[in-house]
Amino acid sequence: MDHDGAVQHAWKIAYQLVLHEEYSVVSSDSQVIHLVRSKGRELHYIRLVISDYLWGATLSHDIEQGARMLEGMRRNMQAGTAQGLIVYLFYKPLTEDLEAHFREPGLAELGIRLDAATLILPEQQWAGMQPSTFPNLFGQDRITGTPIDEGEEHPPSYWAHKIDQLEQQKEQEVQQTFFYGKPHVTYGLLFIIITVFVLMEFAGGSQNPDVLIRFGAKENARIVAGEWWRLITPMFLHIGFMHILLNGFALWQLGTAVEQIYGSYRFLFIYMLAGIAGAVASFVFSTSLSAGASGAIFGLFGALLYFGTQNKVLFFRTMGRNVIVVLLVNLVFGFVSIGMIDNYAHLGGLFGGFLASAVVGLPRTRFRPAQQIGAFIILAVLLWAGIPWQSF
């Protein structure tokens, strides 16, 4: 294999990493291709280098220089840790003394890890470190996998064009997924809860129990006595300025994201069902007077989790890890603050939102009878079991 063949093979490798492993080509020249991907708080980096020989001192210099560059990328992309691999693609046999250098560990410090490995292209064999040493960087051995278009030669520009097409498809997928709808309902809900809060303040104060009961807070004895609508109205009430400030901010952040993914009609269905499910769970497990949109807001977390089950790659490539971390923090805070926070409403809303999302499904996806009807039955049974039907 000559230099031109090695360049062609390097671009084939880059194409496979973009296609199968969610990498993006950030820069390239006649000798080097740089690829990056972000997985939550982790930054992954691969550098493909075409070479026919390499001095041991040059290898050490490449690793040190690459580590500094990787640290800069980590900071710019606000990643927690960064892991990288320099792959030298040799189109000539590797000498034994240089092969020994590749068996040595790379550089690892302060959240940065950068290693080097070499692939002998004529034999398609690794020398020194193996790809199995880097499980976070390769889902499988994309580098020595089945050749693309075997027997058909293409210049590097061909693969670069195909990579550009993949990048455009990814961007289009993100645009279609996360900007399907506009957050009109979210803004309408914010207007309603702010208006109700102002009216409560003028009526005697949003922290006054009598005012809360008058405006429709969840109060178990009155629900049992026939005021079933108190399973709906609490999601529009808030107790004190900090309560509405925190829930309003959460609704603005989560609501806009969920409504843009699901569209307004699906979003309203999810929000209302989650709010009712949260109120029902609070009624069943807590006797305290309660109000707030937090059950419905946790339902929006449930909607995002459902989205994650249907599109795992895009979910974790964008918001996945942040959503899970924020959700767990809020749940833990609710459990350690028993008596101050109605965590039953949170859990009820979370499950209600997830099931309601499964009922309506995602836009541009085909109807799934078993899943959607099954989710509807489970949600209906849970609500039926918790609602005091004698109050109707």
β-strands 42-51, 81-90: how paired?
Answer: parallel
Q: What is the mean pLDDT of residues 185-200?
A: 96
H-only helix segments in 179-319:
184-202, 209-215, 220-224, 241-250, 256-262, 264-285, 294-310, 312-318
Q: What is the mean pLDDT of residues 30-45?
A: 86
What spatial distance separates the first Cα and last Cα of the chain, rounded to whole Å?
81
What is the rounded CA–CA span in Å between residue 280 and residue 140? 47
Asked if residue 275 has pLDDT above 80, the reply is: yes
Three-state SS at 216: coil
- pLDDT of 245 reads 95
- pLDDT tens digits, 224-250: 999 999 999 999 999 999 999 999 999
What is the rounded CA–CA span in Å between residue 105 and residue 114? 9
Out of 152-156, 175-179, 339-343, 352-356, the most confident range is 352-356
- In DSSP notation, 121-139 reads TTTTEEESS-GGG-TTT-S
Among candidate residues 294, 337, 357, 391, the one labeled active-site is 294
| Beta partners for residue 32, in sequence order | 49
Instruction: Return the higher-pLDDT residue of 108 and 146.
Output: 108
- pLDDT of 342 reads 81
157 catalytic? Reply is no
- pLDDT of 79 reads 80
Out of 124-138, 146-160, 236-250, the most confident range is 236-250
- pLDDT of 230 reads 94
Instruction: Return the higher-pLDDT residue of 357 and 4.
Output: 357
- pLDDT tens digits, 85-112: 888 888 877 666 666 656 565 677 777 8
Q: Is the pTM of this model over 0.75?
A: no
- pLDDT of 303 reads 96
Q: What is the mean pLDDT of residues 112-118?
A: 84
- pLDDT of 1 reads 66
Instruction: Return the higher-pLDDT residue of 190 and 78.
Output: 190
Which helix (H) or strand (E) covers residue 34, if one does? Answer: strand 32-39
- pLDDT of 356 reads 97
Asked if residue 375 has pLDDT above 90, the reply is: yes
Architecture of the structural domain at 179-391 = Up-down Bundle (1.20)
Out of 24-38, 225-239, 321-335, the most confident range is 225-239
Q: Which of 305, 304, 261, 298 is nearest to 282 (CA)?
A: 298
Structure-token pair, residue 358: 């499964």
106-110, 226-230, 306-310, 353-357: range with lowest mean pLDDT: 106-110
All structural domains of the chain with their residue ranges? 3-172, 179-391
Task: Label residue 39 by pLDDT band (50, 70, 90).
Answer: confident
214-223, 263-272, 291-300, 314-323: range with lowest mean pLDDT: 314-323
Structure-token pair, residue 51: 């070479």
- pLDDT of 177 reads 81
Out of 54-58, 73-77, 80-84, 344-348, the most confident range is 344-348
346 catalytic? Reply is yes
Q: Buried (b) or exposed (e) across 357-375, using 16+ Cβ within 10 A? A: bbbbbbeeeeeeeeeeeeb
Which helix (H) or strand (E) covers residue 158, if one does? Answer: helix 156-178
Written as one letter, the residue type at 9 is H
What is the rounded CA–CA span in Å between residue 110 and residue 39? 18
- pLDDT of 130 reads 64
What is the rounded CA–CA span in Å between residue 295 and residue 104? 54
In sequence order, the 6+-apart residues with CB closer than 8 A to the CB of 197 are: 206, 237, 238, 244
φ, ψ of residue 366 in degrees (nearest 5): -75, 155
Q: Which of 18, 14, 45 is nearest to 28 (CA)?
A: 14
- pLDDT of 297 reads 96
Task: Label residue 150 by pLDDT band (50, 70, 90).
Answer: very low
Instruction: Return the higher-pLDDT residue of 100 and 261.
Output: 261
Q: Could you tell me how far CA 164 lies from the centroid of its own chain?
A: 24
Q: What is the mean pLDDT of residues 329-346?
A: 79
- pLDDT of 146 reads 46
Q: What is the mean pLDDT of residues 55-76?
A: 82
Instruction: Return the higher-pLDDT residue of 336 and 80.
Output: 80
In sequence order, the 6+-apart residues with CB closer than 8 A to the CB of 390 are: 224
Among candidate residues 34, 44, 238, 346, the one labeled active-site is 346
In sequence order, the 6+-apart residues with CB closer than 8 A to the CB of 41 are: 79, 80, 81, 321
Averaged confidence pLDDT in the chain: 85
